Amino acid sequence: MKTVYNSMLNDFVQLPDYDRSVLKSRIVHLGFGAFHRAHQALITNEMLNRTGCDWGICEINLFGGEDLIQSLRAQDHLYTVAEKGADSTTLKVIGSVTESMHPSLDGIHAVLEKMAEPQVAIVSMTITEKGYCADPATGTLDKNNPLVVADLANPTEPKSALGYIVQALLLRRERGLSPFTVMSCDNVQENGHVAKAAILEFAQLLDPELAAWIETHVTFPCTMVDRIVPAATEETLAEISELLGCEDPCAIACEPFRQWVIEDNFVAGRPNWNMAGAQFVADVVPYEEMKLRMLNGSHSFLAYLGYLGGYAHISDTMTDEAYRSAAFNMMMQAQAPSLTMPEGTDLEGYATLLIDRFTNPSLKHKTWQIAMDGSQKIPQRMGGSLQFHLSEGTSFSWLATAIAGWMRYVSGVDEQGNEIDVRDPMAETLRAICDQHGQSPSVVPALLNIEAIFPAELGENPYVVDAVSTAYQSLIDHGARATVAAL
């Protein structure tokens, strides 16, 4: 794909329809992962097709992914997105990326200098929940995080995204340059507020004057992002290569649906992403909570209980009517009542759309992939709705079963006695607790006692302990499929 505008590509491939030579790196993005490639960078590409403006993206991976960056460079920063519907696939070559960097390839200072360039107006991020170095229970900076400790000790050689952003803002302030907007594109509730709180607290520990300058001059818009983007597999890449007409190691597949709701709060300007379907609003929170609870919450439900039930992919769980029904009922009975949405929002229509998206057999979205980092995800996806049902005195059996599924999953052994590759920043702590208790409901209060995941008003609530314990016992006695069917 090095010379992408040639006869190698099949005729139906959609190419960039704008002059890439006019693009400037006005956006620096941290985290050139699968989701960003299929979402923000793609929407920027489509916006450029419609506007012909100069908003390009410099991609930066801070941790790992050196090979991906080198492959991207070898392809003139072009790559392919395959939008896979149930019946057809659309291939799009993305041209919105102007350049790419990695600390291990280019050096820390080169990355900082790029972020400090005058034309950079937005630093955006898809760094996962872990990247914010925040305590999920309190929302404050985790001062014991090894990355935070290292960056505070040596701020000019940062390792964390927070450290890079604060140091780049320091350089801009010292040079009399305007600040940039910090825009999170992660599935974190009120992600802009989380980013702002962590960055300000980090900066305060380094330099109170800098922290005050950041608080006054930098904006942190919240965003809600939505698109199902499975991790790339060899099978996916081979399929895309065959359709494309050449190999593309940077290619990614995703569903046709995408949504992007953005708080319109940019200190140094922004692209007209609305020209490509994004929605600028004054308050993202209602849309964000709708997505986090209904989509992400039911995704987690299907991930843990689907994996335990022997289903490798989300679409596989949808072939089981019990899982399909339970996922819909979780959305409508456990999650939707907890939401406060703008007038006219059709939550039942949204739930039906989500079930259709989960059913798409073209997307091999692994239950194991979605099950990652549960300790970071559960507070945002289930905590608020759990509190709602406790205050209303209404049933939360779907939530309790999902949490019990997570507890059974993080024990590290599946229903057949096979080892589970649990990926979670708290994996060792969780496994130690599970090993101590064995497959006994006594593990439930021990795990609920982890305040970083479950605040005391939830983890110590006797109704929560009882409901999760009952669901956990059912998983031990009857297995995941029978437990889901009983719902």
State which residues of the chain have pLDDT below 70. Answer: 1-8, 136-137
Cβ atoms 72, 100 nearer than 8 A: yes
Tell which phi-psi region holds residue 269, choosing left (phi > 0), alpha (psi between -120 and 50) or beta: left
Q: How far apart are CA 358 and CA 350, in angstroms?
A: 12
Q: Which pLDDT score, from 0 to 100, does residue 461 have?
A: 96
- Give which of 64, 57, 67 is closest to 100, Cα–Cα: 57
Q: Which pLDDT score, from 0 to 100, does residue 137 have?
A: 65
Q: Which CATH architecture has domain 285-486?
A: Orthogonal Bundle (1.10)
% of the chain exceeding 70 in pLDDT: 98
DSSP string, 160-207: SHHHHHHHHHHHHHHTTPPP-EEEE-SS-TTHHHHHHHHHHHHHHHH-
What is the C-alpha end-to-end distance of the chain, expressed in Å? 50
Count CB-CB contacts under 10 A for residue 154: 11
Largest CA distance in the chain: 67
> For residue range 370-413, what is the model confidence (pLDDT) as tens digits?
999 999 999 989 999 999 999 999 999 999 999 999 999 999 99
Q: Which pLDDT score, from 0 to 100, does residue 459 have?
A: 95
HSE (side-chain half, CA atoms, 13 Å) at 392: 13
Domain boundaries, the chain: 20-281, 285-486
> For residue range 122-131, what is the model confidence (pLDDT) as tens digits?
999 999 989 9
Q: Domain 20-281 falls in which CATH fold?
A: Rossmann fold (3.40.50)
- Give which of 380, 458, 430, 417 is closest to 193, Cα–Cα: 380
Strands 79-84 and 89-94: antiparallel
> For residue range 251-305, what is the model confidence (pLDDT) as tens digits?
999 999 999 999 999 999 999 999 999 999 999 999 989 999 999 999 999 999 9
CA of residue 397 relative to chain centroid, distance? 26
Q: In the beta sheet, which residues pair with residue 361?
A: none
Q: Which pLDDT score, from 0 to 100, does residue 288 have?
A: 87
Cα dihedral 222, 342, 458, 292 sign: negative
Q: How far apart are CA 221 and CA 36, in angstroms?
A: 17
444 to each of 110, 147, 255, 297, 467, how far by Cα in Å?
48, 31, 36, 20, 10
Cβ atoms 178, 233 nearer than 8 A: no
DSSP string, 35-99: HHHHTHHHHHHHHHHHH---EEEEEE-SSS-HHHHHHHHHTTT-EEEEEE-SS-EEEEEE--EEE
State the burial class of residue 349 (Cβ atoms within 10 Å of its Cβ: 0-12, 13-18, 19+): exposed
The amino acid occupying position 143 is K
32 to each of 113, 258, 261, 300, how far by Cα in Å?
19, 18, 20, 24
SS3 category, 313: strand
Q: How far apart are CA 302 and CA 298, in angstroms?
A: 6
Cβ atoms 313, 255 nearer than 8 A: no
